[in-house]
Amino acid sequence: MRKFAVMFSALSSLSLSIYSPLSFRHSSNARPATFLRFNFCFRAMASHVVGYPRMGPKRELKFALESFWDGKSGSEDLEKVAADLRASIWKQMVDAGIKYIPSNTFSYYDQVLDATTMLGAVPPRYGWKGGEIGFDVYFSMARGNSAVPAMEMTKWFDTNYHYIVPELGPDVKFSYASHKAVNEYKEAKSLGVDTIPVLIGPVSYLLLSKPAKGVEKTFSLLNLIDSVLPVYKEVVAELKAAGASWIQFDEPSLVLDLSSDQLQAFSHAYSQLESSVTGLNVLIETYFADVPAEAFKMMTTLKGVTAFGFDLVRGSKTVDLIKDRFPSGKYLFAGVVDGRNIWANDLATSLSILQGLENIVGKDKLVVSTSCSLLHTAVDLVNETSMDEEIKSWLAFAAQKLIEVNALAKALKGQKDEAFFSANAAAHASRKSSPRVINEDVQKAAAALRGTDHRRATGASARLESQKRKLNLPLLPTTTLGSFPQTLEIRKIRREYKANKISEEEYVKAITEEINKVVKLQEELDIDVLVHGEPERNDMVEYFGEQLSGFAFTANGWVQSYGSRCVKPPIIYGDVSRPKPMTVFWSSVAQSMTKRPMKGMLTGPVTILNWSFVRDDQPRFETCYQIALAIKDEVEDLEKAGIGAIQIDEAALREGLPLRKSEQAFYLDWAVHSFRITNCGVQDTTQIHTHMCYSNFNDIIHSIIDMDADVISIENSRSDQKLLSVFQEGVRYGACIGPGVYDIHSPRIPSTDEIAEKINKMLTVFATNILWVNPDCGLKTRKYTEVKPALSNMVAAAKLLRAQLTSYK
């Protein structure tokens, strides 16, 4: 142990001396521009970073945004926090020796929304009247306002980041409406940092869009390419005029299975841009998977493009394509430092990959980079002062990854920092052999699950009959999905308990009171199946991870999920097991307060996996099976304690779906199997619910049905009821389903009529006896002043329809 502590301190003192954003922030008035410029030229190696977290090491941006949205501070305050964060990030990259430093990777909400704003593609309902788009219109698109709901949000590829989906159609008039990219380039320049401005590439932008309301579903968004390019050209011209010598187009869609038309759109777009970009080095950056051979061929023959960035962590096969046919004289940005995880890079292995690549592309054409934007990892390990030292020695967050990138770049240039490399090698060796990683019993039990099937013995329709008799529910039963508003008071109680400032007795009393309040409220609202409100949980994954073995936690390891929302993924470093029941106490307390059914509330294995930083030393399915076994024990303990309905959330099942079709069936197979393992042992009368966020389910609907839950609730209201269309198209579903009837991401309160209309639409698709009525998701981010009227309208709408349905009979 001591040995590792010493090794780590070598690492951490290194990063500490290199990174001190706060001192910089405080001195930013007397801007050390010359110092920066000097540093920049003197130390920079062939190193690059695709993008960087925006929130700040202590989520400074989150708090500034929320205070602005609440009207507690003005736009200048928000802009000041944002500018300070950008400056400190650039400074940090300069200090780490990064040569190609990105700009315009900052965002007040989302980089795709920034592109929509740049292109002036504001849907008419947000009332934009032309001119430079300001916070008003920008945040209305992102969050909705009292009059109109927000734009749809969906997952950014297979990450837990969510972007705002552009809505486009033949009538959209694109115009240059936000100069953010140029402004940020100039801002960095005034600090002495010559950056690479980053734009979402025009083709990925269109491929990530959806047809606006009323536009034919068959409308090809790629038809708009010639309308967006003039704006891109204007931006490029301005960047050039401002002195930019590089530009980075993020084209992550290139890793998908694209049709030849789609590939053709890339060739077309970049040949159209060719004359505008002369004099600039153009980097096309891809990430999140291998680039398919066809796409690789197309992109590397584009004229006017001088550099290509590849994710060599998730896309290890791309290395073969590079070896095979990388164009001579072009730059290769080799993404060897993982932007999606928190493990320290295996520097020796990376170095040998890089050396191999250097032989192909040439010494001065190889740039060491991150696999993708560091947006998807935690910010700075330096802030983890109370983490176990051995585990800490195995990790690298964004700030440490900058150092790794530069260490590799230096090593390539013959300036290998031997001490840094050997500390890294020792940390890897300790992780491999550590007894805290290995639990042989768990490994055996998980291995035994493979190759056999696990599902409930009775079919869904017979189970539902038994449950109907036991639970005695009305038509269109109403429920909510778990959490109730997390008030400041509740957060304070949890915080104080954690810090040992209040006793266990006081804590239990306070949480019990809160649960009682939530139960009484639901009874008053006349909801049919109740929840306890989850006041004891700060996060649906962390809560379980904290009680399972094999998990570690960070104090500040936040990762942006959407807008100002961040999550703090646990780190799964070892074999997973459940030392004792995790939720039985609170569920029993809640059930004792009411005669109505109280749903037990668990997070499913796939979601725990997908929302954690997962170990990279065994296959993901292996870890998932281990978690499934732990959750299975919990499900059975809840049943024994008399809980008749148990919701096992699989909010993140869809997002773990591999991007490439060839890998999807395998994932779905083990993911759905893991879910079934958790509840294959319960009685017919125990009703298993599951809940999933986002309705991009059309392509995996058969797997969702194969989960064999009794009741599925799915987000629906923010995506124009896309979900219903699958069922309209004839997919048969025998169990119960609750497509969300209102959007919980927005403060807007839906009216009874509006909800009734939604339910009516659902009734044209689903049989009356299988439909449930519930919101889209948990209510933890909302306020009671929003939740009470919204739920009251929801129950009123359900009752209205029940009355209509029975009077028709």
Catalytic residues: 745
Window contacting Zn ion (CB under 5 A); options: 210-218, 293-301, 420-428, 643-651: 643-651
540 binds, among ligand GLN, Zn ion, none (CB under 5 to 8 A by kind): ligand GLN
207 binds, among ligand GLN, Zn ion, none (CB under 5 to 8 A by kind): none
95 binds, among Zn ion, ligand GLN, none (CB under 5 to 8 A by kind): none
> CA 702, CA 704: separation in Å to the nearest integer?
5
Nearest CB to ligand GLN, comparing residues 225 and 624: 624
Residue type (1 letter), 776: D
Binding mask of the shown chain, residues 120 to 159, with x at each position contacting ligand GLN by CB under 6 A: ----------------------------------------
Nearest CB to ligand GLN, comparing residues 502 and 589: 589
Nearby residues of 561 by Cβ (< 8 Å), 6 or more positions away: 160, 161, 162, 567
- Least Cβ distance, residue 723 to ligand GLN (angstroms): 15
Q: Kind and range of the H or E element at 645? A: strand 645-649
Q: Is 601 in the site for Zn ion (CB under 5 A)?
A: no
Nearest CB to ligand GLN, comparing residues 252 and 778: 778
> CA 806, CA 632: separation in Å to the nearest integer?
39
Using alpha carbons, select from 231, 256, 202, 168 the residue that is nearest to residue 658.
256
Q: Is 693 in the site for Zn ion (CB under 5 A)?
A: yes
Residue type (1 letter), 74: G
- Least Cβ distance, residue 537 to ligand GLN (angstroms): 8
Q: Is 483 in the site for ligand GLN (CB under 6 A)?
A: yes
> CA 651, CA 655: separation in Å to the nearest integer?
9
User: Using the rule CB under 6 A, which residue among 601, 635, 671, 711 binds ligand GLN?
Assistant: 601
Residue with tokens 């209510």: 779
601 binds, among Zn ion, ligand GLN, none (CB under 5 to 8 A by kind): ligand GLN
Window contacting Zn ion (CB under 5 A); options: 626-634, 650-658, 737-745, 786-794: 650-658
# residues contacting ligand GLN (CB under 6 A): 13
> CA 677, CA 674: separation in Å to the nearest integer?
5
- Least Cβ distance, residue 494 to ligand GLN (angstroms): 15
> CA 225, CA 252: separation in Å to the nearest integer?
17
Nearby residues of 284 by Cβ (< 8 Å), 6 or more positions away: 201, 249, 251, 254, 270, 299, 302, 305, 307, 308, 309
The phi, psi pair for 645, rounded to 5°, reads -135, 130
**Residue number with the smallest Cβ distance to ligand GLN:** 778
User: Using the rule CB under 6 A, which residue among 392, 689, 780, 802 binds ligand GLN?
Assistant: 780
Task: Show contacts with ligand GLN in window 604-663 (CB under 6 A).
Answer: 649, 651
> CA 734, CA 114: separation in Å to the nearest integer?
42
Binding mask of the shown chain, residues 512 to 551, with x at each position contacting ligand GLN by CB under 6 A: ----------------------x-----x-----------
Q: Is 707 in the site for ligand GLN (CB under 6 A)?
A: no
Residue with tokens 């281990």: 626
Window contacting Zn ion (CB under 5 A); options: 95-103, 644-652, 745-753, 788-796: 644-652
How would DSSP label each residue in 561-589?
EETTEEE---EEEEEEE-SS-SSHHHHHH
- Least Cβ distance, residue 703 to ligand GLN (angstroms): 18
Using alpha carbons, select from 330, 328, 329, 181 the residue that is nearest to residue 310.
330
- Residue pair 182/397 in contact (Cβ under 8 Å)? The answer is no
Residues contributing to the site for Zn ion (CB under 5 A): 651, 693, 777
Residues contributing to the site for ligand GLN (CB under 6 A): 481-483, 534, 540, 601, 649, 651, 691, 693, 777-778, 780
